[in-house]
Structure 1
């Protein structure tokens, strides 16, 4: 009886051991266990993260890309622990969102800038835009504020000192060329080009219209447009997590930048700056 009991115990331990072995079977050749990290993005374009994931895989980090169709769920999912990180939003959007929703999230790295541009069918330089000219700008708050900041950087207008990224036309304090602003839906900004001197078009809309900011715009955002640089965000408690920090490092390596430059042909600009440059 004792022998039978002993045999049953041994068999039971063997089964349990086999179960643990199968659960931890995803290991590197070195014997170190791999870890899976869920990164949320918005949209279906995973090219830059697929590239980073291949590099991470070699170090035992499995990046699982989780796609969302909006700009709210990736942050709430992160805050609720469904994601380990997300990478889809600009600094300006992030700062406003976490304040309004009282979320304890922080950025750990910058990634890319999707530059907004000033486009024209009539002029090759913003300096050539005449007095009294019409310039189309998006009519939604986030894009309009960004467009006005770009027009200020281009030297066409000046804005109030307390202007924020979601500001509007009524905060234009100086307009030496007496520019007439034509407010249109973002999707319409390329279509009105024949009717205006210039149009300020966001990156996604420009891309859909076959326009590339670095080639076709007469003026576009540069790396100094810090409110509009995209970031990798995590929960504050994870800001020093070694695995997440390593993923950020892999994204900011030179080969990743070269891949983005080639793959996106100027529609995205790799922009790796210290967190202090974006106010963190």
Structure 2
């Protein structure tokens, strides 16, 4: 019996390398396929859209917070991979009655790399996970830059306006870019127009997910914050913490270059 600790410090026991894995976290689903676990991944959520070809043919088990527990039971998994933030706690506890559930808790690059390493160990893909982590770290090291002296607000939702605060993975990625997050509250607080005005961010980043901000929203926020730079950003680059991290540093460089150009 092999033992692993998840990122909530829970002990997970696996008799063998899992052959039937259900992932209920989109970025971790992408990671599993990246490491070559095409045959082992037997269930994903309707939000696990990458890679597109695997999304089309892999059974869906509901949404990240509205899972079809009966379908999961029928798929007979021997490992379920979940996330503290993205999944519903009550449902995850019910899943624990079906099979071992490994839960991630990601708030920075280090915890993302730890997740990749452990998932690789559990699934028999340790060499692939190690190589991936080395490449991700190398890409981020090349991105390393001094602070930009730019105060940023990163919005993930509208009506109400929800922002990424401290102790989130998005906040960690903002810091990697050299930005200073104007939101000091933890997690994802809501802010109104007057609060945003008082914070006076230099840059407002409107994410593509989970709310699909567009050009009309740039116009709306420009009216509220006429002195700020309002930009759209690929939310997957800021919030997906699996193999997509390979591409994030290059994207961040382009974004910073755009924000800082005259």
Rg comparison, structure with higher value: 1
Give the alignment's TM-score, normalised by structure 2.
Answer: 0.37
